[in-house]
Amino acid sequence: MKTNIFSIATAITLGASAVWGSPSSSEKRDSITPITVKGNAFFKGNDRFYIRGVDYQPGGSSKLADPIADADGCKRDIKKFKDLGLNTIRVYSVDNSMDHDECMKALADAGIYLVLDVNTPKYAINRADPQKSYNDVYLQYIFATVEMFAKYDNTLAFFSGNEVINSGNSSSAAPYVKAVTRDLRSFLRARKLRHVPVGYSAADIDTNRLEMAQYMNCGTDDERSDFFAFNDYSWCDPSSFSVSGWDQKVKNFTGYGLPLFLSEYGCNTNTRKFEEVSSLYSTDMTGVYSGGLVYEYSQESSNYGLVKVSGNDVKELPDYDALKTAFSKTDNPKGDGDYNQTGGANACPPKAAPNWDVSSDSLPAMPAPAKKYLTEGAGKGKGFDGDGSMEAGTESTTTATAGSGEVSGATSTSTSSSSKGAAPGIKVPQLPMTTVVVGLVTAMSTLFGASLILL
């Protein structure tokens, strides 16, 4: 049987794609550069990346809708995103039974990244009963979401939770939030998906924000987050870097080993001029912070909107012009913004009840029935119509062994030891042998010509 060498090359290429776990060329959704982590900063290729974004959930919590599944609405709003000078949006809930290709491609074509919360109102950790709500039904749902969105190069990050800890008493749920973060990272590695950074969005409280940040960056490498974010409304115009207290937060987080950004900001107590933008993207803060997300794009009941959406009509509100002006006159720092190149883990915070009620560094083990998703995949998501997970499924009954979240043969090469000085950046995976063979075949075809035939 005679086989053209280019047929062999094609077959090997397809095989390599399957081993690598990335979409084949025919399935590639976009051509935007994925964001990675180095030290305590995000990078786009070799360039420091600062998040300039908005929180995007038209309809708000009272009218649950998936803006990424609404291609027409998405394209309508992309025009405003570009006009504002945004590079990122945050979406709080998506329906993982829907298709998102069209909107994600349109966002990528516009150079816009997505930070995605994996939870929904019905599938989340319940701070009042975290052990019961951390179960296999819940993990199947969020794994399905991650599996769906990891294929897009413009998925910047996943939030494992949002404001689960909102008081001293609720800090007892912290081990479950951290376990979810560990599980999402393990799932990405086990399924050989792109290692999209995974982290947590903390509430705007001083009670235990710093402790939560330290907690998400302590322990073995598999237990640590890829970044940490928090909501911050303490700068209310007119204000300043020192009057707002942002100078003290920079001081508190100096030396922190993970990328840090604001998952919500933009106090609306007074007229918003977004004066904080000039500080957030200055070297006063960029050694610690990597930008932030303004709350919020559309006008909802809380009156934080930049625009008012009515069908296909989008009306710009005064805050829209204020933010556009603030962004347009504020450049990113030149160079690397004085980021912490080393990064690394910190010690776990000691128990300090009632504000920090976590007495052990140990985490709950992944619920036994959920482990099959690491090898078989999550399957189809239940979407917004699902029954929910807080009262369903098998909960965790054991404590995990430190380092058990590591996956043999995973795309991440981090070790299970506790990192004291190593940067927590996303590791570059080793090339599989099939990729090397493709390169050899390509070289041979170039050398001998397209007419070469193998007998």
In tens, the pLDDT along 211-229 reads 999 999 999 999 999 999 9
Confidence of residue 407 (pLDDT cuts 50, 70, 90): low
Reported as a single tens digit per residue, the pLDDT across 359-386 is 989 999 999 999 999 999 999 999 999 9
Percent of the chain as helix, strand, coil, to the nearest 5: 30, 15, 50
Domains, the chain, ranges and CATH? Answer: 1-30+431-455 (no CATH), 34-328 (3.20.20.80)
| DSSP H or E stretch at residue 257 | none
Q: Would you place residue 63 in the very low, low, confident or very high pLDDT band (cuts 50, 70, 90)?
A: confident
Reported as a pLDDT band with limits 50, 70 and 90, residue 30 is low
- Give residue 46's pLDDT: 96
What is the structure's pLDDT at 408? 44
Q: How many CB atoms lie within 10 A of CB 375?
A: 9
**Averaged pLDDT score across all residues of the chain:** 85
Q: Per-residue confidence at 6, pLDDT binned at 50, 70, 90?
A: very low
Share of the chain above pLDDT 90, in %: 78
Q: What is the pLDDT of residue 403?
A: 76
The pLDDT-based confidence of 21 (bands split at 50, 70, 90) is: very low
pLDDT score of 401: 84
Q: Is 163 a catalytic residue?
A: yes
pLDDT computed for residue 33 by the predictor: 97
User: What per-residue confidence (pLDDT) applies to 404?
Assistant: 75
β-strands 260-265, 289-294 pairing: parallel
pLDDT reported for residue 59 = 86
Position 18 pLDDT exceeds 90: no
pTM (2 decimals)? 0.83
pLDDT in tens, 94-131: 999 999 999 999 999 999 999 999 999 999 999 999 99
pLDDT of amino acid 31: 76
The catalytic position among 147, 211, 264, 300 is 264
Is residue 157 predicted with pLDDT exceeding 80? yes
Please give the residue that has the higher pLDDT: either 81 or 434: 81
Range in 78-87, 324-333, 427-436 the model is least confident about: 427-436
Q: In the predicted model, is pLDDT for residue 192 greater than 60?
A: yes
Task: Give CA–CA dist 71/380, Å, rounded.
Answer: 21
Element (H, E) at 334: none
Per-residue pLDDT at 453 exceeds 50: no
Q: Of all residues in the chain, what percent carry a pLDDT higher than 70?
A: 82
CA distances from 369 to 74, 131, 184, 372, 425 (A): 37, 15, 15, 6, 30
Alpha-carbon separation of residue 185 from 18, 96, 180, 322 (angstroms): 20, 18, 9, 38
| pLDDT tens profile 232-253 | 999 999 999 999 999 999 999 9
Cα 169 to Cα 206: distance, rounded to the nearest angstrom: 14
Q: Region 249-277: what's the mean pLDDT? A: 97
Say how far residue 406 (Cα) sits from the centre of its chain.
19
Q: How confident is the model at residue 455 (pLDDT cuts 50, 70, 90)?
A: very low
Q: What confidence tens digit (pLDDT) does each residue in 79-104 have? A: 999 999 999 999 999 999 999 999 99
Chain center to CA of 417? 24
The pairing of beta strand 41-44 with beta strand 35-38: antiparallel
Active-site residue, 391 included: no
